[in-house]
Structure 1
């Protein structure tokens, strides 16, 4: 139902105007229904009403990812114990209450941000929001909760390390970022999780789960005027000031490495890539197009066509500029192939990237990609959680207002020479870090 009404919300404007103008109309409609404000305690709030919807997505984002931790794994563990118990409610009472209303609630932490996500019917929002506030103002953790959550995280870590794709990514991150928080999974490792005490969790929560370090985004069927008043009255009770924390930097290596991890496997998992840029880069749209042409476009991409379709050396190949980060992210190509074909596949990846640098992309590749990316905007916004995620990204990283529509609008004016210039500037094949996990 949520997907249906949000698509109606967008498609109405597509139907009213041509493809060249529809993004401006979408932008205008979002702006008309969007309300931004900041409470006296520093909490930033974004409300977006979507007429005709029946449900609401509530997202609270906090600058409390693993980037901010001094003890490995404490950010992720804190995010996972948030909903278990507090001073007012027993084990899982809050999640069970929200589920009894037909809704859902979850919490997690990535490298940059921790978040709580709630979905509920619009008529339940004034019952659900007080529970979110209770999570933030009455947080408490004890050994009982840690005894439940820690084993689950450790099992998750072990399962991840048994997956060749995840394990290769783990080694790749370590090679790029070293001991920096970006160089490890947010979950930490089994030893680090075991060593975290309830005092560590409480201290992390008190230092970073503060209103001046948080953003509240609500998207769906809402009465913005009444909801704003409710939030101002109630969430002003949330107190605290963010701990003065300096985000750690990382050393940029002048050249990449080749790392082989031997495992008794019939095929090898490969990651090839290097450090790149971050989400504030003004060329992020060009990078999206460039990546789509190289390997991010599925069966229409160059790497998939040559490595899978022509040579039959891999079932799939993917690439990405993973740059939705506070600090610099990375570019990578990933695939799996038989052990005997590893060298050939790595050579093909490298040669294709050098070919784009030297010869550029074709007019047809650019035109096809632009049409696809423009047309896929509506499909990518398939739920309220998607648009809430865009709004959270905008506020958290300090991007241009409604950047997610403006970025797609920009696609139509990008020229082939723009993409070729970006390819020459952002691909660094001489600095490739190559990680191979497999046999032989």
Structure 2
């Protein structure tokens, strides 16, 4: 168990965050939703010593909180309290991490809540677009895109939660960071008392899923006849934050993106083709992210919008940016650095993340140097290398009848996607 302690005596508060080496990507495909349920019921269900109601009452009396969850790439647990209550709250935090009860009634409640979310998942066109675009890029069955269904939810029982927990929740898989109004020596003794008897397990580091682009280009439509505007996503598989070209790609991104970027100036302001338009080089820490350009526009502007965005992508690949654009983009990236150092908890959170994903502690400063050193030639080089027009996937969520000219005028076959929610058996 790796522990970071950061004293901050400005306010009489203490907070802690644990990252656990697990994640939704490690659950079986037939039990999609298992990790989310495990993370939810860990806290919702109380511990072997105290029921959920007892935990809630104890924490509410002290204006404290303990939370748990499991995301795509990691599990997390956190606590916050007044410094005078830190010992009591850390005790509860340790109980939740080490001895969750997973009662059946709380599992049933969590499954009901997820079932409700499944039923509502097609209510918002933006949510449909984001979900289906990930499937086109990563593949429907990829752990980076798959969705929980009624059938996978029904496959999950209490024993599955216990087994998933037992597989990954061990001290050697935990990174813990605590910041606040405490003395380091006292907090160290407290952590040793609460976690010192937690036995490690002889578990192997899990193999991460392979990633490749599922659909190598193409135009796809989710027909929603009731809509009067289109939600559009255009993109392909991206890269890693650890890439030596990530700083230059961040600068390239700001040339395209934002209020002073090319897409806003050209597609929205000059051509009036969009309510919103953006581009994101969304690199991830340990698996390839995505490059996404997109926005929302009225139905009859859908095809011109797509054509205009594609033009800007080609332009940044084939023509050097101006010195003014370079400086503007670098300033946007560099000026955002101040928000990474607003308080000690941000520094601690960053250190935990770097430790978890195997990045050097000074990665943020290496990244800044890379941004500062980026040249016009660098931007064009990474644009030519990493932006791949032949692999661009285009997804439109909108009304087929209202999209005029039709999507076929883009010169590619149009595939209609069925987003009907499979009903429970």
Q: Please tell me the TM-score bracket, short chain as reference.
A: 0.7 to 0.9
The match for 2:372 is 412
Question: Does residue 63 of the first structure (1) align with residue 4 of the second (2)?
Answer: no
Output aligned runs, 1:252-401, within 5 Å: 252-253=213-214, 255-264=216-225, 265-295=227-257, 298-382=258-342, 386-401=346-361
Asked if 1:152 corresponds to 2:124, the answer is no
Q: Among 144, 148, 154, which residue is 1:182 paired with?
A: 144
> 1: CA distance between counterparts of 2:98 and 2:295?
46
Q: Give the direction of change, closer, same or farther, for the CA distance of 1:427–1:88 in structure 2 (3 Å limit).
A: same
Counterpart contact for 2:136–2:215, Cα < 8 Å: no
Gaps of 5+ in 2: 401-425
Q: Which residue of 2 is the match for residue 436 of structure 1?
A: 396
Aligned length: 394
Secondary structure of the 1:167 match is helix
Q: Distance in 1 between matches of 2:215 and 2:136?
A: 12
Partners of 1:131 and 1:406 in 2: CA distance: 39
Change (3 A) 1:352 1:393: same
**Residue in 1 aligned with 2:184?**
224
- Residue 117 of structure 1: CA displacement? 2.5
Cα offset, 1:436, TM superposition: 0.9
Compared with structure 1, are the counterparts of its residues 97 and 378 closer, same or farther at alpha carbon in structure 2 (3 Å cutoff)? farther
Aligned residues of 2:239 and 2:284 also touching (Cα < 8 A): no
Q: CA 1:47/1:198 → structure 2, altered by over 3 Å: closer, same or farther? A: same
Offset from partner CA, 1:211-265 (integer Å, 9 cap, x none): 1112112233332233223223321222242644332213445822321110121
Query: What is residue 78 of structure 1 aligned with on the other side?
Result: 38
SS of aligned partner of 1:78: helix
**Cα separation, 1, equivalents of 2:315 and 2:78:** 43
Paired residues of 2:18 and 2:76 also in contact (CA < 8 A): yes
User: Does structure 2 retain, via aligned residues, the 8 Å contact 1:65–1:75?
Assistant: yes
CA separation of 1:166 and 1:384: change in aligned 2, threshold 3 A: farther
C-alpha distance in 1, partners of 2:100/2:53?
A: 13
Query: Which residue of 2 is the match for residue 7 of structure 1?
Result: none
Q: Does 1:114 align with 2:75?
A: yes
Distance 1:327 1:339 in 2: 35
TM-score by length of 2: 0.86
Contact 1:267–1:438 (8 Å) recurs in 2: yes
Cα deviations by residue, 1:276-309 (Å, 9 ceiling, x for unpaired): 11232222222222212212xx212211222221
CA contact (8 A) 1:370 1:411 kept: yes
After superposition, give the CA deviation of every residue in 1:42-81 in whole Å (9 maximum; x if it has no partner): x111222335344333111112211111121101111111
Q: TM-score, structure 1 length as denominator?
A: 0.83
Correspondent of 2:129 among 147, 162, 168:
168
Q: Counterpart of 1:33?
A: none
Q: Is the 8 A contact 1:56 1:384 kept in 2?
A: no
Distance apart, 1:88 and its partner CA: 1.1
2:415 aligned partner: none
Does structure 2 conserve the Cα–Cα contact (< 8 Å) formed by 1:212 and 1:242? no
Relative to 1, partners in 2 of residues 1:363 and 1:426: Cα closer, same or farther, differing over 3 Å?
Answer: same
Equivalents in 2 of 1:338, 1:365: separation in Å? 29
Residues 259, 265 of structure 2: 8 Å contact kept: yes
State the distance in 2 between where 1:106 and 1:427 align: 40
Q: Greater helix share, 1 or 2? A: 1
Report the Cα distance in structure 1 between the residues aligned to 2:182 and 2:195, rounded to whole angstroms. 17
Deviation string 1:362-412 (CA, Å, 9 cap, x unpaired) is: 211221222233222223444555434322220111001132344235432
RMSD after superposition: 2.1
Q: Distance in 2 between matches of 1:384 and 1:158?
A: 41
Specify every segment of 5 or more residues in structure 1 that has no aligned partner in the other structure, as ranges.
1-42
- Note the alpha carbon deviations across 1:70-96, whole angstroms, 9 max, x for none: 121101111111112221111254344
Q: Distance in 2 between matches of 1:275 and 1:92?
A: 45
Q: 1:123 to 1:361 in 2, by over 3 A?
A: farther
- Structure 1 residues 413 and 229 mapped into 2: Cα distance closer, same or farther (>3 Å)? farther
Query: Counterparts of 1:409 and 1:53 in 2: how far apart (Å)?
Result: 34
Tell me by how many angstroms 1:124 deviates: 2.8
Partners of 2:342 and 2:119 lie apart in 1 by 33
- 2:7 paired with 1:49: yes
Q: Within 1, Cα distance between the matches of 2:251 and 2:57?
A: 43
Alignment correspondent of 1:21: none
